[in-house]
Amino acid sequence: MNILCEKLQTQFPIIQGGMGNISHAELTAAISEAGGLGTLGAGTMAVDEVEREIIKVKQLTTKPFCLNIPISVQPDLHKVLSLVFTHQIPVVSLSAGNPAPFMEVLKEKGVTVICVVASVKQAQKAEKLGADIIVAEGFEAAGINSSFETTTLTLIPQVVKAVSIPVVAAGGIGNGSGLLAMLALGASGVQMGTRFIATKEAVVHPSYKELLLQSKDTGTTVVGRSIGKVRRLLHTRYTETLQQMEQQGVTVDEFNEATDEGKHLVGAIEGKIDKGHLNAGQIAGLIDDVPSVNVLLETMVKEAKEKLIHLQQSKLL
């Protein structure tokens, strides 16, 4: 059995990325039910809202799921952390900050801890702290990104070589070929975010899904480089506004306000594309349908197996 599946008690080595404020219960539960690990993204949600979503997930599935806590983003960090113990959530992923202050209590309670990293050094530190699983995220990924700008293709084999715990690849993965490629690089599985937005169960505005379908290979835009706030977004008129702000010398506070979670919800949930942004990874260019989560996972695994057999039979290897 795949070591990642064994640790997470899943059928497939596929994890949902912790997409803050839009990884709702419906999508999270559907992914777990389909054999992956669904992840509820706490984002900047209020504690009572996070708890309502947790309860809803548990009503929709009895299978394991994960709670993602973005350390530097979540305003009620310790209260959200307490929900993990109150509701006996089996897996927690920690991102966007230093996991050290939270690792001991999570491990004492028997929680499986995933740490999201962007470099070998961060991966080694997380392993030393006691992380069970590393998610190594390349620059192809959606949303807030590392200023290192290391691609998934180069990051994964280096992290795999540097640590002894399972490594999950994130950034630029959305089909069976990508799954097989990451396994070939030594990863134990993959994490996906953008691809799960384009599914029937994702509770986002239909225009978000439609724009992902229309996206091409150059359909995403990186903003925030000029002020050290790197973020990958779907290219829209709003991202052009953000680029103009940078050209005119935007301050960090002004940029943060223009890209905060309120603006994210305006775009992603309300569908007001000119007034809010849409996170999207480079995989958007490969998305051409909006299947159910169950069909997506089964198709990915089938494609990965077929591609592997094709490689073996083609005598390319």
pLDDT of residue 183: 97
- pLDDT tens-digit readout, 113-158: 999 999 999 999 999 999 999 999 999 999 988 889 999 999 999 9
In the numeric block, which tokens belong to residue 217? 């290979």
Query: For helices 100-108 and 77-86, what crossing angle results, to 10°?
Result: 20
Could you tell me the CA-to-CA distances from 118 to 106, 219, 244 in Å, in that order? 22, 23, 28
pLDDT level of residue 212 (50, 70, 90 thresholds): very high
Could you tell me the CA-to-CA distances from 198 to 5, 29, 117, 124 in Å, in that order? 24, 16, 25, 33
**Radius of gyration from C-alpha coordinates of the chain:** 18
- pLDDT tens-digit readout, 220-259: 999 999 999 999 999 999 999 999 999 999 999 999 999 9
- pLDDT tens-digit readout, 14-28: 999 999 888 899 999
Average pLDDT of 266-278?
95
C-alpha to C-alpha distance for 132 and 115, rounded to whole angstroms:
8
Answer whether residue 101 shows pLDDT above 70: yes
Pair 59, 81: CB distance under 8 Å: no
pLDDT of residue 21: 80
Contacts of 75 (CB under 8 A, 6+ apart): 44
- pLDDT tens-digit readout, 2-53: 899 999 999 999 999 999 888 899 999 999 999 999 999 998 999 999 999 9
Pair 271, 313: CB distance under 8 Å: no
Mean pLDDT, the chain, as a whole number? Answer: 95
pLDDT level of residue 73 (50, 70, 90 thresholds): confident
pLDDT of residue 1: 54
- pLDDT tens-digit readout, 147-192: 899 999 999 999 999 999 999 999 999 999 999 999 999 999 999 9
For CA atoms 70, 231, 293, 169, give the dihedral sign. negative
Q: Provide the terminal-to-terminal Cα distance of the chain, rounded to the nearest Å.
A: 24
pLDDT level of residue 315 (50, 70, 90 thresholds): confident
pLDDT of residue 265: 93
Instruction: Express as a percent the part of the chain with pLDDT over 90.
Output: 91
C-alpha to C-alpha distance for 107 and 111, rounded to whole angstroms:
6
C-alpha to C-alpha distance for 296 and 317, rounded to whole angstroms:
28
pLDDT of residue 314: 85
